[in-house]
Amino acid sequence: MIEKTGVPSEAQIKSCFPEKITLKKPKAIIECYKEIPCNPCDTSCPFDAITVPEDINVRPSIDFDKCTGCGICVYNCPGLAISVMQLKDGKVSMKIPYEFTPLPSQGETVNVMNRAGEVITPGTITKVQRTDKMNKTALLHVEIPDAYLYDAITIEVKHGSE
């Protein structure tokens, strides 16, 4: 139960996803399960796909027809609660926010974690985006087998030297 553990239920997770056919194109998956006063997802979206009404406590809603999966909301969300998912050739291509150093490099194999913090599969870093306007939150592109579509959420943080 998310209120006790921080882990959303399967039903909660799936409620954030569109149908699989829609995921042939990349789409933002917004996991904002409880009302908090916050709206940067709405204001940062260049395609007007995400809506938070005048009362900013209302949870965001997304129009998957308008969402291009650009990932701008991913690094603007203060709760790091948004990822982008795409199904392509038996794989999931995900874009996730990442705020740890060192950053992984392109081509690197990393451990991919689920929402309970368990390692579920290796994944491949296909791209690392980090520009000034991203305000220190990097966007990692990670490729994993499509069986993990509803499970994968982040990659393991490996700590190097002190």
Binding site for other proteins (CB under 8 A): 2-8, 31-40, 43-44, 54-57, 76-81, 99-100, 113-118, 135-137, 153-154, 157, 159, 162
Residue number, 80 or 128, with CB nearest to other proteins: 80
Q: For 134, left (φ over 0), alpha (ψ -120 to 50), or beta?
A: alpha
Counting Cβ atoms within 10 Å, is residue 135 exposed (0-12), middle (13-18) or buried (19+)?
exposed
For other proteins, the closer CB: 2 or 147: 2
Between 90 and 102, CB nearer to other proteins: 102
User: Whole-angstrom Cα distance, residue 88 to residue 133?
Assistant: 29
Q: How far is the CB of 45 from other proteins (least distance, A)?
A: 12
Q: Which two tokens stand for residue 154?
A: 């982040």
The minimum distance between CB 150 and other proteins, in angstroms, equals 14
Name every residue whose Cβ is closer than 8 Å to that of residue 128 and which is 6 or more positions away in sequence. 103, 104, 105, 106, 138, 139, 140, 141
Please report how close the Cβ of residue 141 comes to other proteins at its closest, in angstroms: 18
Least distance (Å) from other proteins to the CB of residue 115?
5
Compute the least distance from the CB of residue 25 to other proteins, in Å: 25
Q: Which amino acid is residue 130, in one-letter code?
A: R
* 121 φ/ψ angles, rounded to the nearest 5 degrees: -165, 155
Nearer CB in complex with other proteins: 27/115: 115
> Which CB, 7 or 147, lies closer to other proteins?
7
